């Protein structure tokens, strides 16, 4: 009895003390424009009609848009009278969702995870189905949605060992939220085991694979004429989703490669656009001129910095070889190597890829990827591929075939979601 009372008290403290601090932290670091503030308070979503099948999809940021866009589009196509409202934790995620899922009724900033803000949001949207992506385990989203009778599903769920340990220390907070989910669809058996350790019943757990494996998404995405013109008919190394310190490694490797391949061009796409000035400084210090994607007009130059949102996946089609960042230091856990692989580009990444383990290890086993740890290794691996077109093309083909084998997550997830709304 004491343990039950203590757990209840801890949940009460969580909902009344912990999250009210979040608005102050977010307002201190984000724009306080009135429309953004209204969205954070749960007041910016549209009121949906009784005649519609109302779906709320919540995601973190840009990467999760890639994981959910195919599912969202197909639900809108297949569910009669479907209306989707997407929420994102970041303005960048919201803005990319607006472009990628243009038929959604609205894309807004996510409400603060405190009861009053979530309730205000739910009173307007009144979702019948709530879809939460990947690691967005905000307890009030689950608990308040359950109270209004919505079905709740996690899509593309993942949980690292570190996260599982953290949630385990706060089990009394997260277990009731996770138990309220009707369906938890995860990327791997390891993810399933970690969710199960937090109280998710086995009959509600499904291993679907990664829904980011939609191999044709990058092929279908348009590329602006200006970006097609950059370094036309030249080999290109693309360094995508780079983190702090990785651009210097890429630039040192690029300088070595240019001695052997003078026509080689480089495209650098930092993971966060706020770092673009920092990347510009690194490129200048390395002795290279550059153009920016937002203002590229004549196709001249040896280096392009991608300072726009939502274009990297399509730009990978320009690559001869690619490096995917967030993987050279232990702080990030790796970004998604499936994007270049899906468009037949052989991939390099660093040794820290635990957040992408399934994809990375499958690509390595298939011969479509290589692990590098420094600029010398990057230059050596890239040189081997650039010197041997047959080997490079074969590695790219293996990468694409690997992603095709992993791409069942979208159709499996969609089938399960339709089951929740009795569409079969």
Question: Across residues 84-99, what is the average pLDDT?
Answer: 93
The C-alpha torsion from 61 through 62 and 65 to 67, rounded to 10°, is -100
User: What pLDDT shows up at residue 14?
Assistant: 47
pLDDT digits (tens, 9 = 90+) for 186-206: 988 999 999 999 999 999 999
pLDDT digits (tens, 9 = 90+) for 10-38: 444 444 444 444 544 445 444 446 678 89
Q: Which of 33, 39, 52, 64 is catalytic?
A: 64
More confident residue, 424 or 154: 154
Share of residues in the chain with pLDDT > 70 (%): 90
User: What pLDDT shows up at residue 212?
Assistant: 74
User: What pLDDT shows up at residue 355?
Assistant: 83
Question: Across residues 85-100, what is the average pLDDT?
Answer: 92
Question: Across residues 399-424, what is the average pLDDT?
Answer: 87
Listed as own residue / partner, the contacts of 220-229 with beta carbons closer than 8 Å and 24 or more positions apart are 221/313, 221/314, 222/314, 223/311, 223/314, 223/315, 223/317, 223/318, 224/311, 226/293, 226/296, 226/297, 226/299, 227/293, 227/296, 227/304, 227/311, 227/315, 227/318, 228/318, 229/296, 229/298, 229/299
Q: Which band of pLDDT confidence, cut at 50, 70 and 90, is reported for residue 423?
A: low
Q: What structural domains and CATH numbers belong to the chain? A: 2-214+408-420 (3.40.50.11720), 217-405 (3.40.50.2000)
Question: Across residues 309-317, what is the average pLDDT?
Answer: 91
pLDDT at 9 over 50: no
Check if 175 is active-site. Answer: no
Chain centroid offset of residue 21 CA? 26
Beta strands in 134-273 (DSSP E): 151-157, 183-186, 205-207, 236-242, 265-270
First-to-final CA distance of the chain: 43
Q: What mean pLDDT is reported for the chain? A: 89
Return phi, psi of residue 203, to 5°: -70, -10
Task: Return the DSSP state at 14.
Answer: I
pLDDT at 147 over 70: yes
Least confident of 137-146, 168-177, 340-349: 168-177
User: What pLDDT shows up at residue 201?
Assistant: 94
pLDDT digits (tens, 9 = 90+) for 340-385: 999 999 999 999 998 888 889 999 999 999 999 999 999 999 999 9
């Amino acid at each position: 009895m004491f343990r039950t009372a203590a757990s209840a008290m801890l949940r009460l403290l969580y909902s009344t003390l912990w999250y009210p601090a979040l608005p102050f932290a977010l307002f201190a670091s984000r724009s306080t424009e009135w429309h953004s503030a209204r969205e954070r308070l749960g007041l910016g979503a549209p009121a949906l009609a009784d005649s519609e099948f109302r779906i709320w999809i919540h995601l973190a940021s840009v990467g999760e848009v890639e994981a959910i866009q195919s599912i969202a589009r197909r639900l809108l196509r297949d569910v009669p009278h479907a209306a989707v409202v997407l929420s994102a934790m970041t303005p960048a995620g919201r803005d990319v969702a607006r472009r990628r899922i243009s038929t959604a009724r609205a894309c807004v900033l996510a409400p603060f995870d405190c009861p009053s803000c979530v309730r205000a949001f739910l009173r307007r949207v009144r979702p019948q189905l709530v879809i939460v992506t990947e690691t967005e385990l905000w307890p009030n989203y689950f608990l308040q949605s359950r109270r209004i009778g919505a079905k709740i599903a996690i899509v593309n769920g993942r949980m690292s060992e570190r996260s599982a340990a953290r949630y385990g220390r706060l089990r009394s907070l997260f277990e009731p939220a996770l138990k309220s989910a009707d369906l938890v669809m995860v990327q791997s058996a390891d993810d399933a085991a970690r969710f199960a350790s937090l109280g998710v019943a086995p009959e509600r757990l499904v291993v679907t694979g990664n829904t980011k494996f939609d191999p044709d998404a990058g092929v279908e995405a348009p590329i602006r004429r200006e970006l097609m013109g950059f370094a036309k008919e030249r080999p290109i190394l693309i360094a995508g989703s780079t983190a702090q310190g990785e651009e210097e490694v890429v630039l040192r490797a690029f300088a070595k490669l240019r001695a052997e391949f003078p026509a080689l061009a480089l495209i650098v796409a930092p993971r966060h656009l706020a770092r673009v000035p920092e990347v510009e400084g690194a490129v200048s210090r390395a002795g290279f001129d550059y153009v920016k994607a937002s203002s590229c007009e004549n196709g001249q130059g040896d280096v392009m910095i991608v300072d726009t949102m939502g274009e990297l996946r399509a730009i990978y089609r320009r690559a001869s070889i690619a490096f995917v960042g967030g993987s050279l230091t232990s702080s990030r856990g790796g970004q998604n190597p499936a994007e270049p692989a899906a468009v037949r580009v052989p991939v390099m990444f660093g040794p820290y890829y635990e957040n992408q383990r399934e994809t990375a290890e499958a690509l390595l086993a298939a011969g479509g990827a290589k692990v590098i740890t420094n600029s010398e290794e990057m230059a050596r691996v890239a040189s081997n591929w650039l010197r041997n077109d047959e080997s490079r093309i074969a590695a790219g083909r293996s990468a694409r075939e690997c992603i095709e084998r992993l791409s069942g997550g979208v159709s499996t997830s969609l089938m399960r979601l339709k089951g929740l709304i009795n569409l079969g």
